[in-house]
A and B are shown apart, each in its own frame.
Chain A
Amino acid sequence: MGESGGIEGGEQRLELESFNRAARFLRSIMDIDELLHAILEEGVQAVRGTRGFIGLVNRATGYLEIRITTGQGWDEQPVRKFLITTEPGHGITTHVAATGEPYVSGDVRRDPHYLMFFPDVRSEITVPLVNRDGRTIGVINVESEVPNAFSQRDLQLLSALANQASIAHSVANYRAREAALIEIGNELASSTDMGELLQKVVQRTRELLRADDCSLFQLNPDGDRLVLRATGELMEHRIGELTYRLGEGLTGWVARHETPARVANVRDDPRWRGLYPALPSETVEAYLGAPVLVRRQLWGVLRVLRRQSGSSIVPNDFTERDEALLCTLARQVGAAITQQTLVDRQLQMERMAAWGEMSARSAHMIGNKVFAIKGQLNELEYLAGRPEFSPDQVRDVVQRAKNTVFSLEEILAEFRDFLLATNLNRKPIDLNELVATTVRENSPRGSLVPIHLDAVPELPTVSADPAKLKRALSELLENAVTHQQEGGEVRVVTGLWGPEQREAYPAVRAPAGGSGPLVRVEVLDRGPGVPEENKQRMFNPFFTTRAKGMGLGLSIVQGIIQAHGGTIAEVGRPGEGAHFVVVLPAVAGVIGH
Chain B
Amino acid sequence: MYRILIIDDEEEIRDAVARRLRREEFQVEQAGSQEEALQKIAAAEPPYDLILTDMVMEDPDSGVKTLEAALSRDIFSEVIVLTAYGNVGNAVECMRRGAFDYIEKNIPGVDVYELLILKIHQALERRRASLQTLRRYGEIARRERIELPGVGAA
A residues near B (Cβ < 8 Å) are: 360-361, 363-364, 367-372, 374-376, 378-379, 382, 400, 403-404, 407, 547
CB–CB B106/A375 < 8 A:
no
Measured CB to CB, the closest approach of chain A to B54, in angstroms, equals 8
CB–CB B13/A370 < 8 A:
no
CB–CB B16/A379 < 8 A:
yes
What is the bound-complex CA distance between A379 and B22, given in angstroms?
11
Given contacts A364-B85, A376-B16, 9 further A-B contacts (CB under 8 A): A360-B86, A368-B10, A369-B12, A372-B10, A372-B12, A375-B16, A375-B20, A378-B20, A378-B114
B residues near A (Cβ < 8 Å) are: 9-13, 15-17, 19-20, 23, 57, 84-87, 105-106, 111-114
Measured CB to CB, the closest approach of chain A to B4, in angstroms, equals 15
What is the bound-complex CA distance between A371 and B107, given in angstroms?
9
Say yes or no: A371-B20 contact (C-beta < 8 A), given A378-B111, A378-B114, A547-B9: no
Show 14 A/B contacts (Cβ-Cβ < 8 Å), sorted by A.
Answer: A363-B86, A364-B84, A364-B85, A364-B86, A367-B84, A371-B106, A372-B10, A372-B15, A374-B113, A375-B19, A379-B16, A379-B19, A382-B23, A400-B15
What is the bound-complex CA distance between A403 and B13, given in angstroms?
12
If over half of B's interface residues share one DSSP class (helix, strand or loop), that class is named, otherwise mixed; here it is helix
CB–CB B16/A370 < 8 A:
no
Measured CB to CB, the closest approach of chain B to A497, in angstroms, equals 37
CB–CB A375/B13 < 8 A:
yes
Measured CB to CB, the closest approach of chain A to B125, in angstroms, equals 22
What is the bound-complex CA distance between A235 and B75, given in angstroms?
81
CB–CB B13/A372 < 8 A:
yes
CB closest chain-B residue, reference A370:
B106
What is the bound-complex CA distance between A363 and B15, given in angstroms?
21
Q: Of A360, A367, A371, A407, which is in contact with the most chain B CB atoms at under 10 Å from its CB?
A: A371
If over half of A's interface residues share one DSSP class (helix, strand or loop), that class is named, otherwise mixed; here it is helix
CB–CB A367/B85 < 8 A:
yes
CB closest chain-A residue, reference B87:
A364
What is the bound-complex CA distance between A374 and B12, given in angstroms?
11
What is the bound-complex CA distance between A364 and B112, given in angstroms?
16
Among all A-B residue pairs, the 3 with the closest Cβ atoms: A375-B16, A371-B105, A372-B12
What is the bound-complex CA distance between A360 and B60, given in angstroms?
14
Tell me which residues across on chain A come within 8 A of B111, comparing CB atoms.
Answer: 374, 378
CB–CB B12/A367 < 8 A:
no
CB closest chain-B residue, reference A377:
B111
CB–CB A371/B84 < 8 A:
yes
What is the bound-complex CA distance between A406 and B111, given in angstroms?
22
Measured CB to CB, the closest approach of chain B to A406, in angstroms, equals 11
Tell me which residues across on chain A come within 8 A of B9, comparing CB atoms.
Answer: 547
Say yes or no: A368-B19 contact (C-beta < 8 A), given A407-B12, A547-B9: no
What is the bound-complex CA distance between A485 and B13, given in angstroms?
24
What is the bound-complex CA distance between A378 and B114, given in angstroms?
9
Tell me which residues across on chain B come within 8 A of A379, comparing CB atoms.
Answer: 16, 19-20
